[in-house]
Each structure stands twice: as C-alpha cells, then as structure tokens.
Amino acid sequence: MFTGIRNRWTKDVINTRIDIVDRINKIADNMGSTSLQFILNFEAVTCVIPGIRNLKQLQSNIKASDYVLSKEKHDQIEALYENYIKDLYTPW
C-alpha cells in the first residue's frame, strides 16, 4: 500500500529537503511562482505543466506567467543549485 513518498525518506533526507526549501525561500517571494518563472526563464522551455490541488494554486500558477524572474534572482537560484544542492543526497 502506498502511503506517500515522504515515508521512504530518512530523517536526514527530510532535514536536507527542509534546508533546501528554507534557502530557496530566502530568495523567492513565492516558492510556486518563482519556480515556474525560473523554468520559464529558459529559452528552450515553452510551457510548464505544474500540478495543482485547488483553485487558488491554479490562479497563482497562471499569474506567475505574467512576471519575469529578475536576472539577480535567477542567478541566485542557479548558484544555490551549483554550490549546495547539486551534490546533496536527496532521493526521490
């Protein structure tokens, strides 16, 4: 019986993921919108198909496409990935 992906993670993996989210939240105004904006910033990307659970998330996702992520924030997220996230053990 499937009880959720998080049940497979160790306490260390959960804490690592919490730390990643905390670090991204220091850069992002809104995690969901910033994530979508970051992905849409790449020339090769023409659309993003995010998951949604409710109307508020849908509206937020649609609104995210109205804005462009600043180069500064884009660079900060890329640097966070390159300097911290890339080498972490964060299994699916």
18: Cα separation from own chain's centroid: 12
What percentage of the chain carries pLDDT values higher than 70? 98
pTM of the model: 0.80
DSSP H helical ranges for the chain? 11-27, 31-40, 55-64, 71-80
pLDDT of residue 7: 82
Scored b (16 or more CB within 10 A) or e, 20-37 reads: beeebeebbeeeebbbbb
